A and B are shown apart, each in its own frame.
Chain A
Amino acid sequence: MDIKSVPQDNSETYANMKKAIYATGEDGKMQTVGSSGWDVEEIATKAALEEIEESIRVAYEEVKTGRKSPLYYHMYDARMDLLVLAQSTGFFQWTIKRHFKPEVFQKLSEKKLLEYCEVLGKTVDELKTIPKERDEQF
């Protein structure tokens, strides 16, 4: 790729940042050029972000209707899934799944709650509730 072909697509997902791309200059030497975005990459990033957003939306409804504990929502809201939450807390996946049950979650010890708070970046009060309304993030 030569430097004139480096895409400058002003991608939303770059958030006004520039990325350094290696390309060939006029003298034939390779150098870095700041790129403001590439549509191809933006499509891929947005597909992933939409998938995350969809998981959060579904989780929010599940918690709001009382089928799942608030932990379920906060996991997705922190862009995690069951695997990442298990790896971060050190709890087994099946243990966490139990904590998704509202009646089990209500009786959780302070110690376990604090472990979740630590990896999710929440206070105990925040962890026990969900926001009244949620805005679309993207």
Chain B
Amino acid sequence: MNSFEHTHHAHCESGVVSSMLRHYGVNLSEPMVFGLANALNFAYIPFVKIGGMPLVAYRSMPKSIIKNIRKNLKIEMKLETFSSKEKGEKRLDELLEEGKIVGAQSSVYWLEYFPKEIRFHFNAHNLLIYKRNGDEYFISDPVFDKSVTCSRESLTKARFAKGVMAPKGLLYYPVSVPKEHDLRPIIAGNIKKSAKTMLNTPVPIAGLRGMRYLAKSILKLESKERKYAKLFLGHIVRMQEEIGTGGAGFRFMYASFLQEASELFDNDPVLAEASKLMLNVGDEWREFALMIAKSIKSKNPIDYRAISEKLMRISENEAKVYRKMLEFKANV
């Protein structure tokens, strides 16, 4: 299986799926995988804590990319979890022996090749294993610019980390991949679906409503301890940038998907326009992050109102992107 080629991606799950499919002869870019899996979203869930901070997410649930791609592209994909470390190790070795490349879910904290600076307890990381030499595994981790190696001990520990979203040794690999796809009906359906989800979320914690909810919560930080307020604001930025989103919490990646989609529909002007609007929204998200970074560093009082208003404006401008996407009429 030496023919496998590592590619540097922005995000772990969409990156693994893109690399895996390319290996089986289906060329889909990472943004295309992201769009085909309907992965764009926003969620602010104050009662779910990550590292002591409320959950802020710019995408759909972990594992949903693998599951949606499998469904939408009709790929036969096997997902296996294990009751013991020994069984999980043995199965991985068997699959590699058969010449397969294998996707795996893991913790970030226990992967020895990650720099200490970003080793946190996050259990839904994804990577591809493509070769083994004794107790050394050759890994294509999409968020690294080169392929890496990892010892059996570290990999097993990471695959069997316990706690929230515990991977239970999850391995996944395609059994059969249809080579020909007409992507257009899937894209057309997903664009409508994503736009509607973001505009009309029934719960106040997701979609554009989630953004407005977060904006209101930022205002309330005024009455909280300054130290907590800074950590909370920093946490929003980390979820937007640190965790491999391709910049601006996946908004740039989605703009890239819309651009590709436009090309597939004979340079559809509505989608091209939506892509541009989304790119601008991405720039605004980065301005928002910059505002936060400045206020974290500064000794002056934090202007919560300005930060909150910025987020409100972003939610209004994102709404325009989704309304533009709904204008799209596909001839398929």
Chain A residues in the interface with B (C-beta under 8 A):
1, 6, 12-15, 17-24, 29-32, 34, 38-41, 43-45, 47-49, 51, 78-81, 83-84, 87-90, 118-119, 121, 137-138
| C-alpha gap A87/B50 in the complex (Å) | 12
Q: List 13 A-B contacts (CB under 8 A).
A: A1-B247, A20-B8, A20-B10, A21-B10, A22-B31, A22-B247, A22-B253, A23-B252, A43-B297, A44-B237, A48-B231, A51-B231, A84-B163
10 additional A-B pairs beyond A49-B117, A87-B164, A88-B163, beta carbons within 8 Å, are A1-B248, A1-B279, A1-B282, A15-B116, A22-B252, A22-B256, A41-B238, A44-B237, A80-B121, A81-B52
Q: Cβ of B119: which chain A residues have Cβ within 8 Å of it? A: 79
Contacts of B231 in A (CB 8 A): 47-48, 51
Residues of B within 8 A of A (CB): 8-10, 30-31, 49, 51-52, 109-110, 115-121, 143-145, 157, 161-164, 230-231, 234-235, 237-238, 241-242, 244, 246-248, 252-253, 255-256, 259, 275, 279, 282-283, 286, 289-290, 292-293, 296-297
Q: Which residues of B contact A81 (CB under 8 A)?
A: 51-52
Nearest to B53 among chain A residues (CB) is A48
In the bound complex, do residue A44 and residue B296 qualify as a contact, i.e. CB atoms below 8 Å apart? Answer: yes
Verify B247–A23 contact, CB threshold 8 A.
yes
In the complex, the answer to whether B163 meets A32 with C-beta atoms within 8 Å is: no
Set of chain A residues within 8 Å of B244, measured between Cβ atoms: 19-20
User: Whole-angstrom distance from the CB of B129 to the nearest CB of chain A?
Assistant: 20
- Please state if A20 and B9 are interface contacts (CB–CB under 8 Å): yes
A124–B74 Cα distance when bound, in Å, is 49
**List of A residues within 8 angstroms of B256 by Cβ:** 22, 30-31
Closest partner residue, chain B, to A138 (CB atom) = B117
The 7 closest A-B pairs by CB, nearest first: A15-B115, A30-B256, A22-B252, A44-B237, A88-B163, A44-B234, A40-B293
- Chain B residues contacting A23 (CB-CB under 8 Å) are 247, 252
- Which residue on chain A has the smallest CB distance to residue B116? A137
Nearest CB of chain B from residue A121's CB, rounded to whole Å: 7
Interface of B is mostly: helix
A83 to chain B: which residues have CB within 8 Å?
49, 52
Q: Determine the chain A residues whose CB is within 8 A of the CB of B115 once the complex forms.
A: 14-15, 17
B137 CB, nearest partner CB in chain A, Å: 19
Bound complex: CA of A3 vs CA of B33, how far in Å? 22
Inter-chain CA distance A15–B8, complex, in Å, is 16
A119 touching B10, Cβ below 8 Å: no
Contact between A19 and B230 (Cβ–Cβ < 8 Å)?
A: no
How close is A54's CB to chain B, nearest CB, in angstroms? 10
A48 touches B10 (CB 8 A): no
Are A43 and B10 in contact, CB atoms less than 8 angstroms apart?
Answer: no
Q: Count chain A CB atoms within 10 A of each CB in B31, B143, B235, B246 and give the residue with the most.
A: B246
On chain A, the residues within 8 Å of B248 by CB distance are 1
Contacts of B163 in A (CB 8 A): 84, 87-88, 119
CB-nearest residue of chain B relative to A137? B116
**Identity of the chain B residue whose Cβ is nearest the Cβ of A30 in the assembled complex:** B256
Report whether A38 and B162 are in contact in the complex, using a CB–CB cutoff of 8 Å: no
User: Which B residue's beta carbon lies closest to that of A49?
Assistant: B117
> Contact at B8–A41, with CB atoms within 8 Å?
no
Residues of B within 8 A of A18 (CB): 8, 145
Q: Which residues of B contact A89 (CB under 8 A)?
A: 162
The answer to whether B8 and A44 touch across the interface, beta carbons within 8 angstroms, is no
Q: Are A84 and B121 in contact (CB under 8 A)?
A: yes
A88 to B107, CA, bound (A): 12
